[in-house]
Amino acid sequence: MTDLPALVAALDDAGVRFIVIGGMAGIAHGAARVTFDVDCVYSREPDNLHRLASALAGFRPRLRGAPPGLPFRLDEPTMRAGLNFTLDSEAGPIDLLGEVPGGGTYDQLLPRSVELRVFGRPCRVVTLEALIALKRAAGRPKDLEAIAELEVLLDTRPE
């Protein structure tokens, strides 16, 4: 399971621009589902890529599912050359997404996010409405199953 407090603290301290999506976003909005990773849509601006790579360096990120010993370094040039990275790290599994189906890029998703306090830190999290749209766009069975609970949360939240 991802050490979300440590990860959010490191990203906040470094001034990284990111939005939490996926299961952790659902949990932040009150969902009861369990998730073991964190999915983040990150700004692809060069200064943000540098801050993101520096913030994660202490967690020793490596490509998930890659053969042991495969050379990999998460740095600004690597992030510029790629888009989406599924990583394992000392903080747990992290998916860094430059773009997501149904949501687009960080800049496109930003108006569909809210700032919440996560472990005492400010953290941008996708709105419930946007999270439902992202899960529909992903279309995986586990995402489609989660939609029912998210819609109940949406229907029962205070106005």
Provide the pLDDT confidence category of residue 72 given band limits of 50, 70 and 90. very high
**pLDDT at 159 (0 to 100):** 64
HSE at residue 146, side-chain half, CA atoms within 13 A, is 28
Least confidently predicted of 19-33, 79-93, 109-123, 145-159? 145-159
Tell whether the model's pLDDT for residue 1 goes beyond 70.
no
Distance CA 86, CA 132 (A): 22
pLDDT digits (tens, 9 = 90+) for 95-132: 999 999 999 999 999 999 999 988 899 999 999 999 99
Assess if residue 84 is contained within a domain: yes
What is the C-alpha separation between 32 and 149, in angstroms, rounded? 8
In a domain, 93, yes or no: yes
Q: pLDDT by residue (tens digit) across 24-69? A: 898 888 888 877 789 999 999 999 999 999 999 999 999 999 998 8
- Phi-psi map region of 62: left, alpha, beta (phi>0 left; psi -120 to 50 alpha): beta
Tokens read off for 57:
């360096």
* Local confidence band at 6 (pLDDT 50, 70, 90 cut-offs): very high
Question: What's the rounded mean pLDDT across residues 6-16?
Answer: 95
**Domain range for 17:** 4-152
In this model, does residue 151 exceed pLDDT 90? no
The CATH number given to whatever domain includes residue 118 is 3.30.460.40
In a domain, 158, yes or no: no
Residues 6+ apart with CB under 8 A from 151: 132
Is residue 157, in this structure, part of any structural domain at all? no
Q: Is 11 contained in some domain?
A: yes
Does residue 92 sit within a domain?
Answer: yes
Whether 35 maps to a domain, the answer reads: yes
Considering its fold, how many domains does the chain have in total?
1
